[in-house]
Amino acid sequence: MLNLVLFGPPGAGKGTQSANIIQKYGLIHLSTGDLLRAEINAGTSLGLEAKKLMDQGILVPDAVVIGMIENKLNENKAAAGFIFDGFPRTVAQAEALDSLLASHDLSITQMIALEVAEEELTQRLLERGKSSGRPDDQNEELIRKRVQEYTEKTAPVAGYYANQGKFTGINGVGEIEEIFDQILSIIERS
Ligand code: B4P
């Protein structure tokens, strides 16, 4: 079973590359950003609380996203594998994910990190903000806050997987297809 974590700062290309990987391997896509936006669109109390934080570029509480992932794992017991996109974003989330997977006799195969410099991230997200309608993509100050959250709270998650011998970093700047080819070669070696 193939269980991948696609990792990187906001705008690194996680969602973009996830779509390509799912098409090839038939994995279940678990994007906590997408799950949270679905809650916001449905107007649930969880969504209303999450929106206040997301609109400020701040991470939502660990317990909220861990609960969402647990529900999705339980709903997809027959899956060929999972791609975790934008999760885990803290070391506590990574530890919780390992425990959840272990309770299903599963484990993470590999973390693949897309490495992109902050100026490029800002340009990509401002560009996406012109059409995405996402409030968190439309303001440079907010994008910098998201990158700061990533640097402080999320970047250490790479070390967590490196310690397990499961981390591979690649250059996330370049043609989308070329980056996808690099991801494929990592998956084939895993
Ligand atoms: P996410 O929805 O995960 O937002 P993201 O990181 O901005 O998306 P992504 O990184 O997938 O975008 P992509 O690069 O594909 O999270 C939003 C918010 O939700 C967070 O700020 C947080 O508040 C909350 N949240 C989510 N998960 C959480 C968790 N686990 N814990 C706590 N809080 C959580 O795309 C970016 C753009 O770049 C696109 O327009 C794309 O076309 C372009 N692009 C991609 N690859 C490119 C390339 N190679 N060259 C040029 N452009 C490229």
- Rounded CA-CA distance 186/189 in Å is 5
Low-confidence ranges of the chain (pLDDT < 70): none
The predicted structure's pLDDT at residue 110: 98
The predicted structure's pLDDT at residue 95: 98
The predicted structure's pLDDT at residue 129: 95
For this structure, is 124 an active site residue?
no
Instruction: Calculate what percentage of the chain has a pLDDT beyond 90.
Output: 97
Record the pTM.
0.94
Q: Which residues, including other chains, have CB under 8 Å from residue 82's CB and lie 6 or more apart?
A: 3, 4, 27, 28, 29, 30, 73, 76
The catalytically annotated residue of 72, 134, 145, 166 is: 134
The predicted structure's pLDDT at residue 18: 96
The predicted structure's pLDDT at residue 113: 98
The predicted structure's pLDDT at residue 175: 98
Task: Write the residue with the smallest CA distance to atom 19 of ligand 1.
Answer: 33
- CB 30 less than 6 A from any atom of ligand 1: no
Report how far apart the first and last C-alpha atoms of the chain are (Å, whole number). 11
